[in-house]
């Protein structure tokens, strides 16, 4: 059977090509979510065994990529849903939460860290150095 054809009438035209199809984007999204959620929940409960942390930090990007592809594949139904009242309200709520998360209310401010020093310390940690300003 030709992979380019689909029996699903909601499949957008651009999704009918072999490289960009629900056949792999959907299981990819599910797998990436399972990986990120499983490792993230273990980290939440301070389970730092094996490669849980680096796996979570680096492979969670697969979830971001999967979500973008998932949104692209479902663009039209998504826009339709988001233009309904509940969709609009939830988008505003999450936009506000993103805004609030950026406010300087957390620990980072107390430790005198700015955005630059946060990323510098991440790079230093990656290279096995003592994070800048955290010598004991
Ligand atoms: C299913 C969703 C997710 C859950 C439940 C989750 C949960 C967590 C938790 C609990 C931690 C704290 C680990 C610790 O105690 O040190 C953490 C750290 C982290 N997460 Fe996630 N996460 C999720 C998705 C993501 C995604 C999508 C990304 C990025 C693409 C990401 C990147 C990171 C990074 C880089 C850290 C390390 C932060 C640091 O300690 O400097 N996570 N996550």
For residue 12 the two structure tokens come to: 């957008």
From ligand 1's centre to the CA of 48, what distance in Å? Answer: 12
- Residue 117 backbone class (left: φ over 0; alpha: ψ -120 to 50; beta: rest): alpha
Ligand 1 close to Cβ of residue 124 (< 6 A): no
E strand or H helix at 74: none
Q: Is the CB of 121 under 6 A from ligand 1?
A: no
In angstroms and rounded to an integer, the radius of gyration of the C-alpha atoms of the chain is: 20
- pTM to 2 decimals? 0.74
The whole-chain average pLDDT of the chain stands at 81
Say which range, 70-74, 76-80, 121-125, has the weakest mean pLDDT: 121-125
Range 27-33 average pLDDT? 98
CA 64 to chain centre: 4
Which is higher by pLDDT, 112 or 29?
29
pLDDT of residue 20: 78
Q: How far is CA 132 from CA 11, 111, 127, in A?
A: 50, 12, 12
């Amino acid at each position: 059977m030709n992979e380019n054809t689909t029996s699903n009438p909601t499949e957008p035209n651009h999704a009918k090509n072999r490289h960009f199809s629900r056949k792999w984007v959907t299981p990819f999204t599910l797998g990436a979510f399972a990986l990120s959620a499983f490792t993230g929940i273990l980290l939440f409960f301070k389970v730092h065994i094996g490669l849980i942390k680096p796996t979570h930090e680096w492979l969670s990007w697969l979830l971001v990529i999967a979500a973008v592809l998932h949104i692209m594949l479902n663009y039209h139904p998504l826009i339709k849903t988001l233009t309904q009242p509940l969709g609009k309200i939830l988008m505003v709520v999450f936009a506000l939460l993103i805004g609030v998360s950026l406010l300087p209310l957390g620990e980072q401010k107390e430790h005198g860290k700015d955005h630059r020093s946060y990323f510098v310390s991440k790079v230093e940690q990656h290279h096995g150095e003592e994070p800048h300003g955290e010598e004991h």
